A and B are shown apart, each in its own frame.
Chain A
Amino acid sequence: MDSKCYIGIDIGSISTKGVVIDSNNNIIASKYLWTEGSPINATKNVVSSLKEQLDNKNICKDVYGIGTTGSARNLIGTILNANLVKNEITAHAIGTLSRYPDTKTILEIGGQDSKLIIIRNGVVVDYAMNTLCAAGTGAFLSSQAKRLGIEIEQLGKIALSSKNPTKIAARCTVFAESDLVHKAQIGHSKEDIVAGICKAVVNNYLNNLAKGKSIEDKVIFQGGVSKNVGVVEAFKKALNKEVYVDKDSHLMGALGVAILSKNINKNGNKLNFDFNIKDIDFKTIGTECKGCPNNCEIVNIYKDGKLIDKMGGRCDKGNQITKIS
């Protein structure tokens, strides 16, 4: 049996996702956990969990590709010595297309980003991404869930039990929040408010990203928020279309980047990758470059006390590693 495997890690603002695939793009191990503000620790945990799963299944682990994506892709790419670092849009499109080749529209709502990817004939032709504010993303949902004293996982189910969703201003998270408090105080029930929040997320998404873009079948909805059945229902109603959610919808970015790392490794060299990354000590120290008045923030990455990379500078002045001989 072919023992080659490929790793894809998607480090988002809220959650970190990891998959291991075989040469036929089948997911043989996967992990999903909260980033909790520490992408390095989250990645360590994801990798060791992947290793455990592979050990349990007794699969040989020869890594031929490592890809990273998500907002911390550069940092984690350096730490894992990845052969591919790719943006989320391409990664998500590739991941989804591998499962649904006839996709025409991908709706994606993550922790802080929301994206709309338009695909025609298997090629991405256009995309839109939220600009300055994170209104109507996963972060909004989780903060509102906390406010209402509901577990985020329960939010979708509660929303489905409502018959008459409350109208909530969707334009801005701050306004939405005060609107929500107000609606609760004049006596709207919790289910109706929760359903209203889900509807607000969808309206915000369609008003901000989808304006002027044609959403055609087949529509795939993914990202962390796609696990919320309330939002899925609201999308179906608003678009008047079937909206598909894959069982691995939260893993599509990681899957896509794993596939890309497979495609890029054409000579088929085995990568030097250690699954026992948990035992390695990674440290990052932020400094300010004093080279010019821009004062770029430089992040220094140390592996077991040794400086391996610097990044964050706008020019090479701050990013150069002074070799200590």
Chain B
Amino acid sequence: MKIGIPRGLGIYEYPILFVNFFKYLGIEVVMSDKSNNKILKDGIDNSLIESCLASKIFIGHVANLVKRSKEEKIDYIFIPRLCTFENNQTICVKFFAIYDICKNIFNAKFLTLNLDYEKNKTELNAFLKLGKKLGKSKPQVIKAYLKARKMQKIYDKKKYIEQTEKILLNDKKLKVLIVAHPYVLYDEILGKRIIKILEDNNVELIYANINSLTMQNPKIFKWIRTKDSEYINISKSIFWKSSRNILNGVGTNINNVDGIIYISVFPCGTDSLVNELTIRKTKNIPSLNLVLDEQDADVGINTRIESFIDILEMNKNKNMRISG
């Protein structure tokens, strides 16, 4: 059996878990191509005009897999359906709907994982249901899930330790905190494009989505209390999981960085609220809010990033005042 996974949205929440779960069950996995303008174009052609850019790109990735499925003999395309999580957390409704949207747009076979704590209680139950559809036995599925979960944790921990070392490193480089959802940050034509510009400008980047909260395993039992994290300094009541994760990163790192760059896609409902809220709560640190849309000219983005870095540099070397 062969399963295709589109690179986008929910996949970036737990990439290692999803890919390895199938691998440990002896199922071959292929990924869609990395995002490029062709994928974006296919996505736009197949989406409603009002969808957000990230979901348009996701649909482009599905189109890419559908196109390849005949030649490469892909049996199913895997689209996780993320809905509700522990502690009454939820996520953008796009994640609820994207599986059904794709099922209606494309003539292909899809497979889903229904991560809905209100229905399934735990993540494991959702995986058991998925395993049943694949015709695997319960012990097989549990073993594959636990192993894949562990791999995800090892991967997260490695990234977390690397980042902590980077924060503690006391060099003269500017440190900038990047606040973006993983599906924006790791996309070739969204976040990676901006990261490249920043790295060319010799800036040390700290990522808000890598923090102690994001590497926590999901609870197996409902009654275990999760300890409070740094996000409560900014908002106690934030209930979007992905936003809470990155807010925790902002709360943890705010004293370690020279500036914050928020990257979001147009039109994002959660970010338009959360980023605005965070900017207002963190007034004494310079911040830049970048909203990406379908225009692909870099001029506007370059201007904003260059000016922002100029400001941070002037702030850092206050005695090196430039004046006429």
Contact = CB atoms under 8 A, between A and B. Distances in A.
B is a partner of A: yes
A89 B307 contact: yes
B207 to A, nearest CB: 22
A43 B196 CA distance: 31
Given A25-B324, A71-B299, A132-B291, A87 B36 contact: no
B303 A97 contact: no
Contacts, number: 78
B37 interface: yes
B37 A295 contact: yes
Interface size class of B (residues with CB under 8 A): 20 to 34
A212 B304 contact: no
Interface in B263-316: 266, 279-280, 283, 286, 289, 291, 293, 298-299, 302-304, 306-308, 310-311, 314-315
B37 A132 contact: no
A122 B321 contact: yes
A294 B37 contact: yes
Nearest to B36: A293
B104 interface: no
A123 B38 contact: no
A122 B280 CA distance: 24
Nearest to B295: A132
A263 B322 contact: yes
Q: Give the most central of B283, B289, B304: most A CB within 10 Å.
A: B304
A212 B36 contact: no
Interface of A: 25, 71, 74, 86-90, 94-95, 97-99, 101, 121-127, 129, 131-132, 212, 259-260, 263, 292-295, 314
Interface string B138-149: 000000000000
Contact of B283 (A99, A212, A263): A212
Interface of B is mostly: helix
A88 B307 contact: yes
Interface in B154-176: none
Contacts of A86: 306
Nearest to A71: B299
Q: Which 10 pairs, one residue from A and one from B, show the smallest C-beta to C-beta distance?
A: A98-B324, A89-B307, A293-B38, A293-B36, A87-B306, A87-B307, A90-B310, A294-B37, A294-B36, A87-B303
B222 interface: no
A246 to B, nearest CB: 13
B68 interface: no
Contacts of B315: 123, 125
B307 A292 contact: no
B272 to A, nearest CB: 11
B311 A126 contact: yes
A101 B323 contact: yes
B314 A88 contact: no
A125 B324 contact: no
Contact of B279 (A71, A90, A212): A212
B193 interface: yes
Contacts of B193: 314
A71 B283 contact: no
Given A126-B286, A132-B266, A97 B324 contact: yes
Contact of A89 (B189, B283, B310): B310
Given A87-B302, A259-B324, A293-B37, 10 more contacts: A87-B303, A87-B306, A98-B324, A121-B321, A122-B323, A127-B307, A131-B289, A294-B36, A295-B38, A314-B298
Contacts of A212: 279-280, 283
Contacts of A90: 306-307, 310
Contacts of B70: none
Nearest to A262: B324
A214 B54 CA distance: 34
Contacts of A125: 286, 311, 315
A198 to B, nearest CB: 26
Contacts of B293: 132
A230 to B, nearest CB: 28
Contacts of A292: 36
A88 B310 CA distance: 11
A156 to B, nearest CB: 28
B227 interface: no
Q: Give the most central of A71, A86, A314: most B CB within 10 Å.
A: A314
A260 B33 CA distance: 44
A277 to B, nearest CB: 23
7 contacts: A94-B323, A94-B324, A99-B324, A122-B321, A123-B321, A293-B37, A314-B193
Contacts of B289: 131
